[in-house]
Amino acid sequence: MRDRLAQVRDGILARTGIEDAPRMSGFRAHGWHATKDGHEFAEPLLVELDRAAAFKGHVRYVISSHELTSDEKDRVFNSLFVGVLRVSFSRYRSSELTDIVFEDDQSPRSRYDVIVQRAQPSGEVRVSVEPKGDSALAMADYLLYATLKYVARVLEQCKTDNCGISHRPPISTEVSYDATGAIEMPGHLTASDFAFRMYKTFVRSMSSVLEVPGAIAG
Ligand SMILES: [Zn+2]
C-alpha cells in the first residue's frame, strides 16, 4: 500500500500544469496533508484508496463544545489513542508483530510508549514515529479528515432536537447499495456534499467509528 501511494505521489509530482501550484513545494517536501491539499493533490490519493485499498479503519473521536486547552488536548488524545489501540490489539492478537506508527507531533518518545502500554498489547509491538508526509500516515490523515468533516457537516445540517437519525458516520456493514451497485448512506447528507463524497471513499473499509462520550468536562 505504501509503495502504491508512493507511486501516486510521484505521478502528482511529475504532472505538468500544476507545478506552479502554491501547494506544490510543500507537497514535494512533505507529501499529503488533508487540511491543506487542493483537489489536484487529494483526488489521485482518494481514487487510489477507493479503487485498491485493503485496510480497516477504526476511528475514535470526541465532540467538545469549547476549544481544548493543551492539557485537555493531551489527556483526550491519550485516551483516544488508548481506545483505538485496544481495539487493534484485541483484533490482531494472533499476529506475530503489530506495527504501530504514530504521527510525529513533537511529543517525547516516552509519551507514545506510555500510551501503548496502557492499551495492554498482547504480543510483540514495534512503535515508530513518522512525519505526517509518510504515505501510510497520509491514508490515516485523510480517513480522519473525511470522518471529522462528515461529523461536522451532519451536526451543521441537523436542526432538530430529538432527531432520530444516527449522526455517527456509518461503517461498512451499515451502508446499502442501489440497483447499479452505488453506495447509499443513510443520514442528513446528500451526494452534493463534499464531506459525504469524501467519506464515501472510505466507508467500505470502515470497521468501527465511535464517539467517545464524556471525555470533556463542561
Ligand atoms: Zn439529526
- Report the relative pairing of strands 206-211 and 176-177 from DSSP bridges: unpaired
Structural domain range at position 216? 56-218
Single out the residue in 34, 52, 70 at which a domain terminates.
52
pLDDT of residue 149: 95
pLDDT digits (tens, 9 = 90+) for 74-92: 999 999 999 999 998 988 8
pLDDT digits (tens, 9 = 90+) for 4-29: 888 999 999 988 778 788 889 998 88
Residues 29 and 87 in one domain: no
Asked if residues 52 and 4 have their Cβ atoms less than 8 Å apart, the reply is yes
Q: Which is nearest to 35 in space by CA: 47, 102, 205, 26? A: 26
Ligand 1 (ion): which residues have CB within 5 A?
158, 163, 165
- Number of domains composing the chain: 2
pLDDT of residue 45: 87
pLDDT digits (tens, 9 = 90+) for 129-162: 988 777 778 888 999 999 999 999 998 999 888 8
| CA 161 to centroid of ligand 1, rounded, Å | 8
pLDDT digits (tens, 9 = 90+) for 189-200: 988 899 999 999
Residues 48 and 144 in one domain: no
| CA 167 to centroid of ligand 1, rounded, Å | 6
Tell me the residue type at 81: F
- Report the relative pairing of strands 183-184 and 176-177 from DSSP bridges: antiparallel
